[in-house]
Amino acid sequence: MEEPIKKLLEKIAEEYRLFAPQEIEDGFAIAELENLAAWRPSDRQPLFSFKKFFVPACETLMKYEGAKQEETANKEKIGLVGLNLLDLKYVLLYDLVFANDSNYQQRRQNIFIVAHNQVPPPEENFTHKEFGEEDLMNFSYDVFLVFGKDSQKDALFVAGSKKGKEVLERCNLEYKDLAWREAHQPQKLEEIPAKIQRRLMFPHNEKVWEELNERCLRCGKCTIACPTCFCFRLDDKPELEKGTGERQRCWDSCFFDEFHEVTGGHDFNPEIKNRIHFWYYHKFARIPKEFNMTGCVGCKRCHRVCPAGIDIQEVIKKILEIDEND
C-alpha cells in the first residue's frame, strides 16, 4: 500500500472501527480491517454488500417500561473503506429514503466512507457504470480515492465532507476540496431506465411473469443479497416483567407470505408472478418515480444467490424488447 493511504487509514482508525472488502477464510468479503497495510482497492465485489452497516438486519428502535418510552440508536463509529460507485449509488438511495428517519440519521452520522473509482467488471456491473468526474459531485462520501487507469499509485485524494477534509488535513495530504457540495436527488432519470419504468407502470406482457412464475421458489434470497432492498417489519418483543419490552425493525421480503397478509389473513399478491412483478416494479418504476434513480445498481448479486438461476439482466432485456416491439 502507498504510504499516504496507509497514513489516512491509520488516522481514521483512531476514531472509527474500520471494515473493508478483503480476502478472509470464507473468501472475498467485507470484514473488520485489522491489517491496515494489507488493504488494496479492488474492482472485485463481495457477495454481500455494505447494506447491514446502514440498514441493520435487525435493530431496536425503542425500549418501553409502562408508559415510559426510550428511543435507542447505535452510536458506534464505523469506517467503511473501499466502496465503489455501485455502493455509493445505494448509499445515496438510503439517504433519500430514510431522510426523516432519526435512527438511520444517527447511525449515518457515525459512518465514515472512503470510496474509490475502481468499478466491478461487466458480469457484476450490467449497467456498465464507469467513473466520471461528475461522480465526485453526485455521490455522498467523506474521502474519495481516484486512481489512474493503469496504476493504483499516486491516488488523487478528494474531500467530500467536512469530516473527510479534517482527516486529510490532519494527515498533511494534498487533496481536492469538494466538502462544500452535497449529494442531491438526481434531477432526471436516464433514458433506458425511463424506458423500463414506462413498461412496468402500464399494462405489461403477462408472458414474462408467467415464465418466472414457473421458476421462482419465493425463497427471498434475492432480497437479502440485494443492496437496495430495504423493506422491513416491526416486531414488538415483550419481556417477562409486565409492561416492559422493546420494538425492533428487521429485514423482510416481499416474496414471503406474511409480508402481504392483512387483517383477516387476506393476501393481495398470492401468486408468485405477482410478487416478482411487484419486486421489479419497486426497483424500476416506483423508486424512479420518487427519486429519479433506479432501485437497482446492476451488481447482479440477486442472480448469484438465486437457486433458480433467474438473471435480472435477461429479464430486463425481455422487458425492453417488448417495449420496442409495441
User: Do residues 136 and 86 share a domain?
Assistant: yes
Question: For residues 260, 53, 190 and 276, what is the CA-based torsion angle, rounded to 10 degrees?
Answer: -20
Task: Tell me how far apart the alpha carbons of residues 243 and 139 are, in angstroms, rounded to a whole number.
Answer: 45
Per-residue confidence (pLDDT) for residue 203, from 0 to 100: 62
User: Do residues 173 and 232 share a domain?
Assistant: no
User: Do residues 16 and 140 share a domain?
Assistant: yes
Average pLDDT over residues 219-240: 92
Is 45's pLDDT higher than 90?
yes
Cα separation values, 236 from 180, 258, 260, Å: 42, 16, 19
User: Do residues 167 and 18 share a domain?
Assistant: yes
User: Do residues 14 and 155 share a domain?
Assistant: yes
User: Do residues 167 and 198 share a domain?
Assistant: no
Residues 287-325 have pLDDT tens digits of 999 999 999 999 999 999 999 999 999 999 999 887 554
Query: Which position has the grid cell 421458489?
Result: 217
Q: Which of 133, 150, 177 finishes a domain?
A: 177
User: Do residues 139 and 208 share a domain?
Assistant: no
User: Do residues 221 and 311 share a domain?
Assistant: yes
Average pLDDT over residues 126-142: 94
Q: Does 64 fall in a domain?
A: no
Among positive and negative, which fits the CA dihedral 221, 227, 230, 236?
positive
Q: Does 25 fall in a domain?
A: yes
Per-residue confidence (pLDDT) for residue 257, from 0 to 100: 86
User: Do residues 26 and 131 share a domain?
Assistant: yes
Is 27's pLDDT higher than 60?
yes
Domain count, the chain: 2
User: Do residues 207 and 290 share a domain?
Assistant: yes
User: Do residues 32 and 163 share a domain?
Assistant: yes
Q: Does 97 fall in a domain?
A: yes
Query: Which position has the grid cell 468479503?
Result: 29
Q: Does 257 fall in a domain?
A: yes
Which of the two residues, 70 and 229, has the higher pLDDT score? Answer: 229
Task: Tell me how far apart the alpha carbons of residues 171 and 191 are, in angstroms, rounded to a whole number.
Answer: 42
Closest C-alpha to 199, from 96, 291, 92, 284: 284
Single pTM value for the model: 0.92
φ/ψ (deg, to 5) at 163:
-70, -30
238: containing domain = 191-325
Residues 64-75 have pLDDT tens digits of 887 777 777 778
Is 205's pLDDT higher than 80?
no
- Report how far Cα 306 is from the mean position of its chain's Cα atoms: 18
